Amino acid sequence: MVCGEELIQSEECICLRCVYKLPRTHNFKYPDNAAEQLMAGRIPFERIASFCVYAKKGMLPPLIHQLKYHRHKEVGVLLGRIFGEDLLGSDFLKPIDAIVPVPLHPKKEKIRGFNQAEMIARGLSEVTSLPLLLGVLIRAVFNPTQTKRTKTQRWENVKHIFRVNDPDAFADKHLLLVDDVITTGSTIEACGVALQQCHRLKISVATLGEVF
């Protein structure tokens, strides 16, 4: 899906050469990285990690496009697995109890056929053996796409749209909140605000891409 070359039998979606060339950030190794600076003071969080740099003409945007708009959900699972392999054994992953994908509204999920964040989370869960918790954090409002919106517009578009329907299910846990790309951080912030009602909850964040 990146280079257009024919895959060999052991390869999935992306050839091994392109997997090797993915622009990994490795920022899970570095507290106070750029993603954490972006979210500092907005919501309480423990750590934030992004798998790759999301550059306009880079390798990740076409993969995200295939995932979200061409229904290649296997791309999300594969990238989640590769990300999970990088995180295995790291201090970033050790305190995590469970994985929670940023939810889509049911109408949007029906249109797309799946939640792309859930596919990424499934890949992470497969490799790390951390449980996937679905249906507790929900998107209660059907909002327009975030594409081509300013930072202020993005926040106005997502604030108050998430809800926790069973706060006790997340009580005393350290959750890994998973999304596809962090741009302004508005979606992560809105999720974090909704999650504040959960007793003694800790949040870390993992995304496939980070826009610089």
Q: Is residue 9 part of a domain?
A: no
Residue 7 lies in a domain: no
| Owning domain of residue 165 | 16-210
Q: Residue 8: inside a domain, yes or no?
A: no
Instruction: Show the CA angle centred on residue 147, arms to residues 114 and 202, nearest 5°.
Output: 65
Rounded to an integer, what distance in angstroms lies between the CA atom of residue 175 and that of residue 200? 11
In a domain, 103, yes or no: yes
pLDDT of residue 155: 54
In a domain, 37, yes or no: yes
pLDDT more than 70, % of the chain? 93
In a domain, 91, yes or no: yes
The answer to whether 79 touches 120, Cβ cutoff 8 Å, is yes
Least confident of 81-95, 155-169, 179-193: 155-169
Specify the long-range contacts of residues 90-93, CB closer than 8 Å, at least 24 apart: 90/28, 90/29, 92/28, 92/29, 92/47, 92/49, 92/204, 93/28, 93/128, 93/130
What is the Cα–Cα distance from 124 to 82, expressed in whole angstroms? 8
Residue 171 burial (CB count, 10 A): 12
Is 78 among the domain residues? yes
The pLDDT mean for the chain works out to 93
Q: Which of 175-179, 186-190, 202-206 has the lowest mean pLDDT?
A: 186-190
pLDDT at 53: 97
Asked if residue 4 is part of any domain, the answer here is: no
Residue 193, classified by CB atoms within 10 Å of its CB into exposed (0-12), middle (13-18) or buried (19+), is middle
Q: Which residue has the higher pLDDT, 49 or 149?
A: 49
The CATH number covering residue 60 comes to 3.40.50
Number of independent structural domains in the chain: 1
